Structure 1
């Protein structure tokens, strides 16, 4: 694929992420509030979001490796169509079974920062095919920033339910917003359809570009004549995949305790409205988008792993202090700062995950790590929902901070050699 086509593919994927993230921002604020307006308890809301994590993890295991064989584009098109249908179901139905199915199958309300839900490894692998290894940290960080800015815009839009609340009282006030999410999903599907590449031919060309001229290849009989890396290299790749998966299990557990239930927590602890919560989350995502761009620069300047470790350690400290803030304003400031420090490194972490293998196994590698993250995060909402119903408003944050502290330290221990390798190549 020519350079122009590769750049256009990246631009299309980023445009789709921008629109998708706006819809996700609306859902982050309003999904839990809609269910609360329908009379759902925190435990039930957390249970549904946990189930969404489990189903998403199962889809990750299936779709990532399968996309290595049949291409990336069909999976992203399917995801956008599924999200459109789910948003319409949430907008038009009040049947608990249908609402549960819509949330579980697509993860509406789980806060995925513009990523394609369980198809995120497919999206990341497609982008990595079109970006040279030495540019991935900055491109992935910019891609993450786009998602955060879009989610911020969506969080602001989520407060519009008060504009028409007199005409559409109660839970009906959320209907226009979820219809809007459905429209954004259709637009994303159209953009993905226009994106060049996404098939097997592009993946083979990307794999050939990544092969180092000096690497020793061992030819093995294969029906398609493709080359395979030697066994020692494959073992090293598998070891790194396993290490990152373990780190992501701990991080996912921490994320699950806090992220999906933040709207409910703000509403319960401070009596905040959807507009106030939307403003807080919007500010946090906007600051996080800026932090994602800064983390891309810091990764290039000081090393990808070093930047991630130091920023996330600072975020852990703020996580510990957050639940003890006496006012909504102070809690909002700490939440925004913590989000910037912790989630702003998401692009750099994705770039590392996309660089652990060659392109022929990238979907598998990214799927393994996304699977363990989502499977672990599925546990958190149920437990934190139960704790909130019992009046324990601080314990979810304490548990999350402890898990993310261990995760960050192990990340630095396991992958500090990656920075050394890039410095040596430079």
Structure 2
């Protein structure tokens, strides 16, 4: 991939995550200040995630045929529309807030939502060799964590400054963050227009008939454009990701900030600092995930870095002071995101290259749909003061996910792991010095072997 395209993707990732981080900090506070009770607050955040899921599904299924650049630009346009609605003067009704949340690409957590990541990672996977993918995704995520952290910190400082130095109301100060959100989406759209044609899918990638001719008439395809073998892999994996996503959505970044405000009376600048430090810690720790995955395997890295963080999640509401609670949050973030890059590399490496955009999009849609239920549950539980139960449910379900993932997929190897095993075997045979080994893209034969393992 030309350096220009890589720079543009990292720049737009940074702009987007800065915007998501800033809105993730204040969204729940903004909805509360708009007069919504906790149950309606949770409902708006649920609608935001449902809208993200619908947009992601439509965009990722069409992207390889209509054009990836065009779909990225459409996502930016929807963000601008949502920002304009949220920033309207006065107190907005529940239904208008729900509309903006549903049609716009809004992140209740401060993390990635919408179609952008699936498209960008499909582009990166298309251009990078499998052996470089996990490390590349780790750096891609570091840019996201650092930008989200900066956005949260900036929003906290901005809101406090607008209220204390300029006399704005809390509601109007939050609306300023949405104006900033729209401006950053506009800047990201301008960057996307500079992408080269190299980011688009190969001519055959969006054409099911061409794929069938290339792979042979025996390859049967699902209605979503995936082969039956891919669906045999994707269905159980998506079910596990759905469980993890639902559990994580019970305590999003915005809801965590809301908990600290309700429990300890924390200021907006303190909350911004909390999320800033948490995301910076997560970003720094994720850099080691590529090395760990190369040494111990993708699934093992996903599971054994994730399990301890879930125990820490359960402990947060038992902390009596804001200092102790913050320390547990920092410890949790030091390991909780180390599974992200290995997971992304694993998904990209167990399906054929031509199906990656659709696969990543479908996985993101499943996760968004599952995550849409969490804020609704938390909204009802928070209204009755059941925060301890929410944290326990979040951590407990994530532990179940980790154990189920290890049991179901611990024996499955992605293309990069297969290539590594082939390299070791060839080295023993004396072939390595002849330069005969390259990390192959996953072919139908290896792909079928993975599917057969899962069916058995």
Q: Is the TM-score greater than 0.5? A: yes
Answer yes or no: is 1:366 the counterpart of 2:368: no
| Alpha carbons 2:306, 2:335 under 8 Å: kept | yes
Contact conserved, 1:141 with 1:345, CA < 8 A, in 2?
A: no
Q: Tell whether the 8 Å contact from 1:204 to 1:360 is kept in structure 2 after alignment.
A: no
Which residue in the other structure is 2:79 paired with? 83
**In 2, distance between residues paired with 1:372 and 1:358?**
20
- SS of structure 2 residue aligned to 1:151: helix
Aligned partner of 1:254 among 243, 247, 261: 247
2: CA distance between counterparts of 1:223 and 1:337?
50
Q: Which residue does 1:216 correspond to in 2?
A: none
Q: 2:101 aligns to what?
A: 103
Tell whether the 8 Å contact from 1:251 to 1:404 is kept in structure 2 after alignment: yes
- Residue aligned with 2:244, SS: helix
State whether residues 91 and 175 of structure 1, in contact with CA within 8 Å, keep that contact through their aligned partners in structure 2. Answer: yes
In structure 2, the CA distance between the partners of 1:143 and 1:223, relative to structure 1 (3 Å rule), is closer
- Residues 236 and 317 of structure 1, relative CA distance in 2, 3 Å threshold: same
- Check conservation: 1:151, 1:285, Cα contact below 8 A: yes
List runs of 5+ in structure 2 lacking aligned partners: 221-225, 424-456
Corresponding residue of 2:219: 231
Q: Does 1:289 align with 2:276?
A: no
For 1:399, the equivalent position in structure 2 comes to: 393
Structure 1 contact 46–261 (Cα < 8 Å) conserved: no
Max Rg structure: 2
Aligned to 1:146: 143
TM-score by length of 2: 0.83
Find the partner of 2:64 among 68, 77, 81: 68
Partner of 1:298: 292
Contact between 1:140 and 1:351, CA under 8 Å: does it hold in 2? Answer: yes
Q: How many residue pairs end up in the alignment?
A: 406
User: Hey, what does 2:185 align to over in structure 1?
Assistant: 185
Distance 1:9 1:112, change over 3 A: farther
CA distance in structure 2 between the aligned counterparts of 1:253 and 1:302, rounded to whole angstroms: 27
Which secondary structure does the structure 2 equivalent of 1:163 belong to?
helix
Pair 1:24-2:24 in alignment: no
Residue segments in structure 1 that go unaligned for 5+ positions in a row: 208-220
Taking CA–CA contacts closer than 8 Å with sequence separation of 6 or more, which of the two structures ends up with the larger relative contact order? Answer: 1
User: How far 1:226 sits from its partner (Å)?
Assistant: 4.9
Matched residues in 2 for 1:171 and 1:359: separation?
47
CA contact (8 A) 1:31 1:108 kept: no
Distance 1:222 1:64, change over 3 A: closer
Q: Cα offset for 1:346?
A: 1.4
- Mean Cα displacement is larger for which, 66-75 or 22-31? 66-75
Q: What are the Cα deviations for residues 351-370 of structure 1, in whole angstroms up to 9, with x where unaligned?
A: 21122222321122112211
Distance change in 2, residues 1:225/1:328 (3 Å):
closer
Residue 408 of structure 1, aligned match among 402, 413, 422: 402
Shift of 1:107: 4.3
The one-character-per-residue Cα deviations of 1:129-166 (angstroms, maximum 9, x if unpaired) are 22222211111111111100001001111112111214
Q: Deviations over 1:194-238 (max 9, x none)?
A: 1223665x4348x7xxxxxxxxxxxxx946895126539944322
Give, in whole Å, the separation in 2 of the partners of 1:380 and 1:404: 13
Question: What is the CA-CA distance between 1:77 and the residue it aligns to?
Answer: 0.7
Aligned counterpart for 1:58 among listed residues 54, 59, 62: 54
Q: Distance in 2 between matches of 1:366 and 1:17?
A: 17
**SS at 2:109's partner residue?**
coil
Which residue is 1:14 aligned to? 10
Deviations 1:73-99 (A, max 9, x none): 111111112112212321234322332
Check conservation: 2:110, 2:148, Cα contact below 8 A: no
Aligned to 1:376: 370
Paired with 1:350 and 1:109, the residues of 2 have a C-alpha distance of 19
Q: CA RMSD in A?
A: 2.3
Alignment of 1:320 onto 2:314:
yes
Alpha carbons 2:159, 2:170 under 8 Å: kept = no
Quick one: structure 1 residues 204 and 136, their matched pair in 2 at CA, closer, same or farther if it must change by over 3 Å? farther
